[in-house]
Amino acid sequence: MTDTSLFQQLLDPAHRADPYPILARLRETPVLRDESGAYIVSTFAEIRSLLKDPRISSEDLPKPRFEWTWNPIEDFILNPLRARIIARHRPFLFRDPPDHDVLRASIMHHFASERMKRLQGHIHALVEALVDGIRGRDRIDIVADFAYPLPVTVICELLGVPPADEQKFHPWSKTLAAGLEPFIRENPAYVRENLAAYEEMRAYLGALMREKRKHPKDDILSSLATYRDKRARRMSKYDAVVTAILLLVAGHETTVNLIANGMLALLRHPEHLARLRKDPGAASAIVEEVLRFDPPVQLRTRKTLAEIEIAGTRIPKGAAVVLLFGAANRDPRQFRDPDRFDPDRTDTQHLGFGGGLHYCLGAQLARIEAAEALAVLARRLEGPRLVADPPPYRPGASLRGPERLELTIAGIVS
């Protein structure tokens, strides 16, 4: 086993249940050039520095590639035009300033802290209703029964998307989220699937936004459809739709993992589950520790706009860079006893929501959803026991969390 093969092992689904021994080995070399040519950064200080470095770009998506159809109009006119539109109008997660700043500013007020706090009572009621819905069962799945439906319901309500349409957008969302995996963007089969999912979701949300432009309501899609900026004037319809796509996908995919990872950590550390059962106020500290200990987003990719020297390694201009948040969050140079799950720790400055310009816009919402979910589940599930440990995991290394988290329970506390 060579050091340059470690990152490839990390991407192997066989290591999804416990990537942390590999991440620890990667940290031994803070910046490692992988056999693919990418530079893998795994230590806290270096990642935090790069997240704030203007020489690092988030515009690392390859140009869209449409398959050859042998139809001259499609191949020489329509598909090249579609490719230019897609490349020019990426979600702000994959944009640099100034475009990133303009697009992010258009929706920031929807996720303001005070606005999110006002949702807490409603989110609590949603969790209670989900628990009520499993009465009479002795076996449940935390992912299917709680971790998925809660954030989906909340983001649909915020956006103004009919929750009943979840069956439509769920497969598109899974496909688009898979694009965060390193190297999958070069896979021809995935490229076809990704473009198809993007076109389907773009058409779906575009139709909703056209209706909301005519009849605006108090939701984010209406705001995007009618948004005007003094400098940028009206947001282009392409930017409005891709922003909506990003919010719908990111608004639930990562929170599903956060809730499931949190419940798994509590079941593996029953003393903290018992404590939370007695003291719901402990939920916030537990969520922060889950974000550090087992973050829902394990890595992100970037590219360099100029040569960068860091940790004794020179990264050339135009190089692919992978930031391993999961490794950084257990860096012993930043955290005491980093492999111990400790909600009482005082060194809580983690990278669970990234950092810099792209710090998670919905961080406050995700915290509230996870805290309410874990507190209510701890109080109301009687005698929860894991069916399998480790549980089966989703295949991706970037957005990492259980595919299912099945429990047996003795009953539901009223």
Return the pLDDT at 166.
Answer: 93
Question: What whole-number distance in Å separates Cα of residue 218 and Cα of residue 159?
Answer: 9
Return the pLDDT at 61.
Answer: 85
Which has the closest alpha carbon to 65: 176, 173, 208, 194?
A: 194
SS3 category, 302: strand
Quote the percentage of the chain above a pLDDT of 90: 81
Which has the closest alpha carbon to 407: 246, 273, 223, 212?
A: 273
Return the pLDDT at 1.
Answer: 42
- Straight-line distance from the first to the last Cα atom of the chain, in angstroms, rounded to the nearest whole number: 53
Average pLDDT value for residue range 301-312:
97
Which has the closest alpha carbon to 141: 260, 277, 273, 267?
A: 260
Average pLDDT value for residue range 83-103:
89
Return the pLDDT at 4.
Answer: 53
Return the pLDDT at 185.
Answer: 80
Query: DSSP letters of 265-277?
Result: HHHHSHHHHHHHH
Which has the closest alpha carbon to 143: 125, 172, 170?
A: 170
- Tell me which of 131 and 185 has the higher pLDDT: 131
Return the pLDDT at 233.
Answer: 53
- Tell me which of 184 and 293 has the higher pLDDT: 293
pLDDT score of 203 more than 80? yes
What are the structural domains, with CATH classification, of the chain? 3-412 (1.10.630.10)
pLDDT score of 302 more than 70? yes
pLDDT score of 50 more than 70? yes
Are 38 and 7 within 8 A, CB to CB? yes
Question: pLDDT band for position 395 (50/70/90)?
Answer: very high
Return the pLDDT at 351.
Answer: 97
Q: Write down the pTM of the prediction.
A: 0.94
pLDDT, tens digit, for every residue of 250-289? Answer: 989 999 999 999 999 999 999 999 999 999 999 999 999 9
Is residue 390 reached through a cis peptide bond, with omega within 30 degrees of 0 on the bond before it?
yes
Lowest mean pLDDT among 22-36, 153-167, 170-184: 170-184
Return the pLDDT at 21.
Answer: 97
Question: What whole-number distance in Å separates Cα of residue 16 and Cα of residue 130?
Answer: 28
Average pLDDT value for residue range 37-64:
94
